[in-house]
């Protein structure tokens, strides 16, 4: 029995020793793992690269979004010019015609009474219209110039002006407007001019002192009778038609008119202006050597109420203050 107990006790001791070794081995096997885990927990540097990579990827995604947004904004900025350019938004602004200045009796054949202020040349006068002084340019005709800055004085210019002055001072003056433009680029009123109901334009054409010109439709109401009057004067070689190639479709050719000789009648109009400076203290009215001399316009108008043109025996340059070839005009 004692031997059996001894064996049992020995086995128990052996078994107790084995269990202790097992615990030590387990502790030894576990400790490296715990150390590894501790190291892993204490060393965050090993996980840092993964965090950096994700950050870079996020930044690249955000950059791509920004680039896309910038492209969209550029397309948005440029798209309005293609879809709706300014020229397409306001097409009516270029289609509207310039406003036409209205006049009394516009578009009718009624005649408006006006008061004469001054005769400017063969086809232009100054009148009092609607309480204002305004220049009137005769429609459909053209007369030679009397004092043009480029063309100077043209042959028959003074004759056309003097005849025009006689006509517009001979009776009641009226104007008729056509259906087109009322004013030219110089703000001159465009009209047909009448004296006691008779056309001044037609008279100047019939006497060879004007040509048909500046025909701009629809201001052509009296074109046919004007052309007939011109054809009659041209056939008779009157006035401007007396010199070949002087009156042309584009104007008046002064070179076609031969220079006047010293003894010709064409050179005589210059004589009054020279003779007018010679008398020192003549009487108020003096008729000698075919010349008339007056102290001033007041004295001259006693005999010639409307003044005198250049070439007249009483014309003096000093009385022609506006240098329009007409002295002491009212």
Annotation says 188 is catalytic: yes
Dist. CA 212–CA 230, nearest whole Å: 7
Specify whether the CB–CB gap between 103 and 176 falls below 8 A.
no
Residue whose C-alpha is closest to residue 144's, from 136, 152, 134: 152
Q: What are phi and psi of 55, to 5 degrees?
A: -65, -45
Annotation says 165 is catalytic: no
**Which residues, at least 6 apart from 38, have a Cβ–Cβ distance to it below 8 Å?**
none
Structure tokens at 222: 């009296």
SS3 36: helix
Annotation says 137 is catalytic: yes
Dist. CA 187–CA 101, nearest whole Å: 10
The one catalytic residue among 188, 207, 211, 292: 188
CA dihedral (56, 57, 58, 62) positive or negative: positive
| Residues 106/121/285/279 CA torsion (nearest 10 deg) | 150
Q: What are phi and psi of 156, to 5 degrees?
A: 75, 0
CA dihedral (100, 102, 103, 109) positive or negative: positive
**Which residues, at least 6 apart from 132, have a Cβ–Cβ distance to it below 8 Å?**
none
**Which residues, at least 6 apart from 307, have a Cβ–Cβ distance to it below 8 Å?**
297, 300, 301, 319, 326, 327, 328, 329, 330
Q: DSSP string of 158-214?
A: HHHHHHHHHHHTSS-EEEE--SS-SB-TT-PEEEEEEETTEEHHHHHHHTTS-EE--
H-helix or E-strand spanning residue 113: strand 112-113
The catalytic residue positions are: 137, 145, 188
């Amino acid at each position: 029995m004692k031997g059996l107990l001894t064996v049992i006790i020995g086995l128990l001791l052996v078994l107790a020793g084995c269990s202790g070794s097992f615990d030590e081995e387990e502790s030894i096997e576990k400790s490296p793992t715990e150390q590894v885990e501790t190291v892993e927990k204490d060393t965050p540097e090993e996980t840092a690269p993964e965090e950096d990579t994700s950050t870079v990827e996020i930044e690249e995604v955000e950059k791509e979004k920004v680039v896309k947004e910038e492209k969209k904004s550029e397309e948005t900025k440029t798209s309005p010019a293609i879809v709706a350019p300014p020229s397409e938004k306001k097409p009516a602004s270029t289609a509207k015609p310039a406003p036409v200045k209205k006049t009394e009796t516009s578009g009718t054949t009624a005649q408006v009474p006006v008061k004469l202020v001054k005769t400017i040349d063969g086809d232009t006068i100054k009148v009092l219209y609607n309480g204002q002084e305004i220049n009137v340019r005769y429609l459909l005709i053209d007369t030679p110039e009397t004092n043009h800055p480029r063309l100077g004085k043209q042959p028959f210019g003074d004759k056309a002006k003097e005849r025009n002055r006689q006509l517009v001072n001979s009776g009641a003056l009226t104007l008729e407007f056509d259906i087109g433009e009322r004013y030219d680029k110089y703000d001159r009123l465009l009209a047909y001019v009448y004296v006691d109901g008779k056309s001044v334009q037609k008279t100047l054409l019939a006497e060879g002192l004007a040509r048909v010109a500046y025909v701009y439709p629809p201001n052509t109401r009296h074109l046919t009778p004007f052309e007939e009057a011109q054809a009659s004067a041209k056939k008779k070689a009157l006035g401007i038609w007396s010199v070949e190639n002087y009156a042309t479709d584009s104007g008046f050719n002064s070179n076609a008119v031969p220079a006047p000789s010293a003894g010709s009648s064409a050179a005589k109009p210059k004589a009054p202006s020279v003779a007018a400076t010679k008398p020192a203290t003549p009487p108020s009215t003096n008729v000698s050597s075919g010349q008339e001399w007056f102290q001033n316009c007041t004295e001259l108008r006693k005999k010639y109420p409307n003044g005198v043109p250049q070439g007249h025996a009483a014309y003096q340059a000093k009385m022609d203050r506006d240098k329009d070839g007409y002295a002491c005009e009212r």
